[in-house]
Amino acid sequence: MIGIWIAALYLLALTAGEKVCYGRLGCFSDKPPWAGIPGRYLAGLPDSPESMNISFTLYTKETRNNSQVISAIHSSTIKDSHFCSHRKTRFIVHGFMSTGKRGWVVEMCLV
């Protein structure tokens, strides 16, 4: 257990005083509000959007059971989708350790 704490403190020390910036998202540092807050245990600074490869699955009346994948870094995927900004939009967040590609998330979207 002590070894885990030593490793965690070592990793935190590696990022001390650092800052990363990602264009339209802005900059993040190891100071509050991103880190340095009791109870918020984050190891390091956020990775780039390109390395995270975040995507959203879009279900619409037009697509029914066939979802469309919207990329967080490629705006053309929104333009080429059936997304309409004037319609009511709901986001279902599955959590960090889960996936939105199967199970209860998909079932909820199809209701």
User: Tell me: the pLDDT tens digits for 18-62?
Assistant: 888 988 888 988 877 766 667 666 667 888 888 888 888 888 888
Query: Contact 59/46 with Cβ under 8 angstroms?
Result: no
Q: Which residues contact 42 (CB under 8 A, 6 or more apart)?
A: 34, 35
Highest average pLDDT, of 2-11, 29-38, 60-69, 81-90, comes from 81-90
Instruction: Give the model's confidence band at 76: pLDDT under 50 very low, under 70 low, under 90 confident, else very high.
Output: very high
Query: Contact 35/19 with Cβ under 8 angstroms?
Result: no
* Higher-pLDDT residue of 3, 51: 51
Instruction: Give the span between the Cα atoms of 27 and 19, in whole angstroms.
Output: 7
List strand residue ranges (DSSP E) for the chain, in order: 19-22, 26-29, 55-58, 68-71
Query: Contact 77/70 with Cβ under 8 angstroms?
Result: yes
Residue 1, pLDDT > 70, answer no
Q: Is the pTM of this model over 0.75?
A: no
The fraction of the chain above a pLDDT of 90, given in percent, is: 11
Residue 86, pLDDT > 90, answer yes
Burial of 35 (0-12, 13-18, 19+ CB in 10 A): buried
Residue 42, φ and ψ in degrees, nearest 5: -110, 130
Strand partners, 57: 69
* Higher-pLDDT residue of 57, 6: 57
